[in-house]
Structure 1
Amino acid sequence: MTKILIVDDEKIILEVLEAYFEKENWDILFASNGIEALKKVKEENPDLIILDLMLPDISGEEVCSLTRKNSNVPIIMLTAKSTEDDLINGIVIGADDYVTKPFSPREVVVRVKALLRRTNKTETGSQLGFNNRKLKIDKLKKEVKQNDQIIGLTPNEYKLLLSMASYPGRVYSRSDLLGKIQEDGGYFEGYERSIDTHIKNLRKKVETDSRHPEFILTVFGMGYKFGGVPDEDNASF
């Protein structure tokens, strides 16, 4: 049974998440502070951690950093902090995803499922869907649809989109993305900044409003990430 550790000192949040998680038949563990959380990580070896950053003893950031010294367990930050710097810092110290308070319990469930699939490599379907099927990627056909309309992408644009969409929330540097283009024989264009042009063109094609993107997001000073929420039925549309 999948074992999930929820670290939060707010009773109502624990109760709400427990109610939703039990419907998924997940084994739920609780910790109300950082010290207790670190102890349970060591003793219980959870499959995933939901970690609030505002804890009464040590910070969630410190819990995350200490956990990362000995474990690669997936971590989803649960935070009231909403500034970009706060969220970037969470990813840098080792979190895999984040949910900002106030949140939808259903969204948390979807994010947990998506992260568990990626971590356990159980995602075997050839199709990926995001934001209630608004964006679809067919890996066998190498076909991308927005609102069920096929989008014409260049080979490099497709590689970039698929690479980022396969790991929503993960931050990619320009160097990382340039490597994705080159790794299977793609043409070397010389400069990491060429990625910016690809991203600009990709946004024009996959976003409803490229000035306010929901899929291809900029992480200032670091690179880019995919912001779409995976559909629950990604194995089949």
Structure 2
Amino acid sequence: MRVLVVDDDMQIIRAMRINLRARGHEVDTAEGGAGALRLAAENRPDLVLLDLGLPDMEGLEVIRRLRGWTQVPIIVLSARHSAGEKVRCLDSGADDYVTKPFGMDELLARMRAAERRSAAEEAAPEVATAAFTVDLSAKRVLRDGEEVRVTPTEWHILELLAQHPGHLVSQQQLLQEVWGPAYRSETNYLRVYMAQLRRKLEPDPAHPRFLITEAGRGYRLETDG
């Protein structure tokens, strides 16, 4: 796994880097929330280990911002023992909460469990509508049994929507995932590419049944139309 360790204690960062690398993991580290968000966007880690007491922002805010565009497993590592703190973290989107001090064997077991849950929650290999089918494993789109040519950017947008069928995917998540964090306000990009996808996939592009816009919020892929 590629693991992002976020903690302002350099001793903990060093210990985690040594232990995780010794077990074959790639490790990125950040001492603050802003750096963690930047590295998460640039390097797309498989798991985040997050301390709550960061110098520039609360760990809860880091969780909320990450959950705005990624479902990467997040394990909180904190010296705060209160049940209320744990509940707030889990409600904000954390997958697990480990109190400091902790044993490395326990943490590694929690990491493996989070990785298994994440793999189990991956989208189905195919998402079918009445008009077209998105084959996520083969990375192709079929309409009337024929493959539809889509550009890499069109595919990336469609893939993100197909991974969450029936659910809203925010404009910010789509922009960040497809173009990067510097493009989070470029909503015109999405309008252009969604129009192209509708022309290729919708029976009546002017009245879309499957690629739905929620004005000012984002888009969703409806399977029953």
**TM-score when normalising by structure 2:** 0.52
Residue in 2 aligned with 1:86? 85
Distance in 2 of aligned mates of 1:25 and 1:117: 17
Structure 2: runs of 5+ lacking an equivalent: 122-225
Runs of 4+ in 1 over 4 A off after TM superposition: none
Residue in 2 aligned with 1:4? 3
Distance in 2 of aligned mates of 1:106 and 1:20: 10
Residue in 2 aligned with 1:180? none
What is the Cα deviation at residue 23 of structure 1?
2.3
Residue in 2 aligned with 1:105? 104
* Deviation per residue, 1:7-65 (Å, 9 max, x gap): 00101111111222112211000001000001011111110000000000001110000
Residue in 1 aligned with 2:76? 77
Task: Work out whether residues 20 and 106 of structure 1, in 8 Å CA contact, stay in contact via their aligned partners in 2.
Answer: no
Residue in 1 aligned with 2:37? 38
CA RMSD of aligned residues (A): 1.3
1:21 is aligned with what amino acid? L
Residue in 2 aligned with 1:226? none
Residue in 1 aligned with 2:24? 25
Residue in 2 aligned with 1:63? 62
Give the structure with higher Rg (CA): 2
What is the Cα deviation at residue 80 of structure 1?
1.1
Distance in 2 of aligned mates of 1:118 and 1:95: 13
1:16 is aligned with what amino acid? A
* Deviation per residue, 1:101-136 (Å, 9 max, x gap): 1111221111111111221239xxxxxxxxxxxxxx
Aligned length: 121
1:136-155 paired onto structure 2 within 5 Å: none
Distance in 2 of aligned mates of 1:119 and 1:98: 16
- The alignment partner of 2:89 has SS state of helix
Residue in 1 aligned with 2:15? 16
Structure 1 or 2: more helix by fraction:
2
2:15 is aligned with what amino acid? V
Task: Work out whether residues 8 and 33 of structure 1, in 8 Å CA contact, stay in contact via their aligned partners in 2.
Answer: yes
- The alignment partner of 1:9 has SS state of coil
1:206-217 paired onto structure 2 within 5 Å: none
What is the Cα deviation at residue 3 of structure 1?
0.6
- The alignment partner of 1:91 has SS state of helix
Higher relative contact order (CA 8 A, sep 6+): 1
Task: Work out whether residues 78 and 100 of structure 1, in 8 Å CA contact, stay in contact via their aligned partners in 2.
Answer: yes
2:23 is aligned with what amino acid? E
- The alignment partner of 1:5 has SS state of strand
* Deviation per residue, 1:118-162 (Å, 9 max, x gap): 21239xxxxxxxxxxxxxxxxxxxxxxxxxxxxxxxxxxxxxxxx
Distance in 1 of aligned mates of 2:105 and 2:78: 16
- The alignment partner of 1:63 has SS state of helix
Q: Kindly, what percent of the aligned residue pairs are identical?
A: 36
* Deviation per residue, 1:149-202 (Å, 9 max, x gap): xxxxxxxxxxxxxxxxxxxxxxxxxxxxxxxxxxxxxxxxxxxxxxxxxxxxxx
Task: Work out whether residues 33 and 55 of structure 1, in 8 Å CA contact, stay in contact via their aligned partners in 2.
Answer: yes
Distance in 2 of aligned mates of 1:94 and 1:84: 16
Distance in 2 of aligned mates of 1:66 and 1:118: 21
- The alignment partner of 2:34 has SS state of helix
